[in-house]
Structures are given as C-alpha cells and as structure tokens.
Amino acid sequence: MPERVSIQNIRTGSYRHIDVRPLAGALGAEIRGVDLSKPLADEVFAEIRQAFLDNLVVFIADQDITPQHQCDFARRFGPLTRHPFLKTMEQYPEVLLLKREKDEDVQVIGRRWHSDSSFDERPPMGSSLYSKDVPPYGGDTLFCNLYLAYDMLSAGMKRLAESLTVVHSAVHYATAKAGGAGLTVLPDAAKEAVKERVHPLVRIHPETGRKALWITGLDYGRRFEDMTPEESAPLMKFFQELATQELLSCRYRWSRGTLALWDNRCTQHLALDDYLGFRREMYRVEIEGDEPFGPARPKNAALLRAA
C-alpha cells in the first residue's frame, strides 16, 4: 500500500439550529441539540441533512424513541425500503431488529467491511441504526470514507478505476439459514440472492457531485465485469485495502439511545463482534436509493460534466 499521510475531508456546513462536532479527520460527527421524539422544524432538518452530507455518518445521542419515531425521521430523507432477504418486524415492516442475548453464541451481521445491499439494482442511499441496549464495552462500529479513497488514487489509477464496472451479488444468502444477531433469512432468498447486478466502481454522488471509489466489500462485489474472479481479485483487494485503511476511517463507541445515520453512497462500515456474553439490541432502517452511476455507467450528463 503506497504511503500517503495527508488527507482533507472538507466540511462546508454552517449551522444555527444544531451543534455539529466532528469525530475524526476523515468522516463522522455527533449532532447535539435535537430531540427525535418530537417533530423537527424544516430548518432544523435541513441542517441535519447538510451535516449528513458533509460528514458521511452522523450520530445523535441521548434519544428515547420508538421504531415509529425512527421511521418517521428516516422517511424525511426519502422513501423507506427493506432488506430483500432478511425478516423484518411484523409491526414495523421497514425495521430490522438486531438482537443478541448475552447467552447466545451467534455471529453479528455486518462483521466484514461492506456497503449495505450493493447487490440491489437501487441500493439504499443510507441506513439508520438505533441503539436500544448496548454492552458495557465492545460492539463498536467502524466507517470509512470512499470519497477520500478515490482522491488518494494516482491519475493513472483513477483513469483505470473510472473504466471499471463491478458485478455484485448476495449469493452467500442463497445457502444461509440465519443472518446473524437473531435474524432470519427469508425462505425465497435462495432464488433471488444468486442474481447479479453491475454497478460502476467509481460512483458519482447524486447530491454532492463528488466521485467515490465505490468498492463495497469483497462479499458483495464479486468481480469486475468481463473478468474472471481470479483476474479481478488482486485489484479488488488493492481497492478494498486502500478504502478501509485507518487514515480514512472513524470508530464509534455506542451508548444507549444513540441513532446513527450513514451515507451508503460513499462509505463502508464494519460491526465489531467483540462483546460475547453481553446483550445488544439495535434497530435498523434503510432509505431507498437510486441506481448508481459514474464515468463507466453514465446517467446524469449534467452531474458528469460538473464532476
């Protein structure tokens, strides 16, 4: 891995109604001065959305909310979607309950670096995760900045990356019986999970216009289009290791009552499975996204010219 020690993630927002405190140089911020159990004024929500775009992942602590509150907040960013292969809550069909009891020995969902559901035709634009019960230590979540991963590439490697498309699939769900953390894989997952989607490796963010190295984890991104897995593996590994290096990441230690919201279009994340013997209960909601586009798969000519 080439040594590059200087990064700059430009945060442009200015705020009058909320307090935004960056957590790391690469990405991440805490938002204070918000109560998600109450309706948010339009001007307050507008600043939250700006903080989300500037920081890629935001955390709002000390919240006492229900799944309905969580859905109402997430829905202001866009329509909600649901995981195609995992069983959701009956009362709240858009909500995944992630729960592991202290005496359970099951693996945690998301324990490898990934971007959520990149195997979908329209992967979620973002995900919201609320902590109802957390262990006294352990269970941190790591995030990385895929804008900066693209910025760190040499000019020649940027040209190569912009020419590549990646074949994504959820084939590992085809044989799975459980999704981890008490989740149940739906019975018809086997037929749908083997389907493949092709997305550009370099993705243009539809709101910021910035380019991201949209490497989405080696479980979902299987190979480059028109290449074999063996041919793809070395370069896929290079991009993945570049994107997930410590310099481009932040690490969050959860407390009870925190809601996180991350931008799936320009980040990866990883859930640490290091709290065996402790109980954890989280609720996840996904926000509908658009079909990824970029230099290798143009969609919006105006944004392409701007980038």
User: What positions carry a catalytic annotation?
Assistant: 114, 116, 269, 284
Determine contact, residues 287/124, Cβ cutoff 8 Å: yes
CA 280 from centroid of its chain's CA atoms: 20
Q: Are strands 80-81 and 280-287 parallel, antiparallel or unpaired?
A: antiparallel
Cβ atoms within 10 Å, residue 145: 29
Cα 63 from Cα 294, distance rounded (Å): 37
Largest Cα–Cα distance of the chain, in whole Å? 55
E runs forming strands in 33-177: 57-60, 80-81, 95-100, 126-133, 141-145, 165-169
- Write the DSSP symbol of residue 300: -
Cα(190)–Cα(185) distance, rounded to whole angstroms?
Answer: 9
Q: Which residue type occupies 36?
A: L
Q: β-pairing, 80-81 with 211-213?
A: unpaired
79 HSE (CA, 13 A, CB side): 7
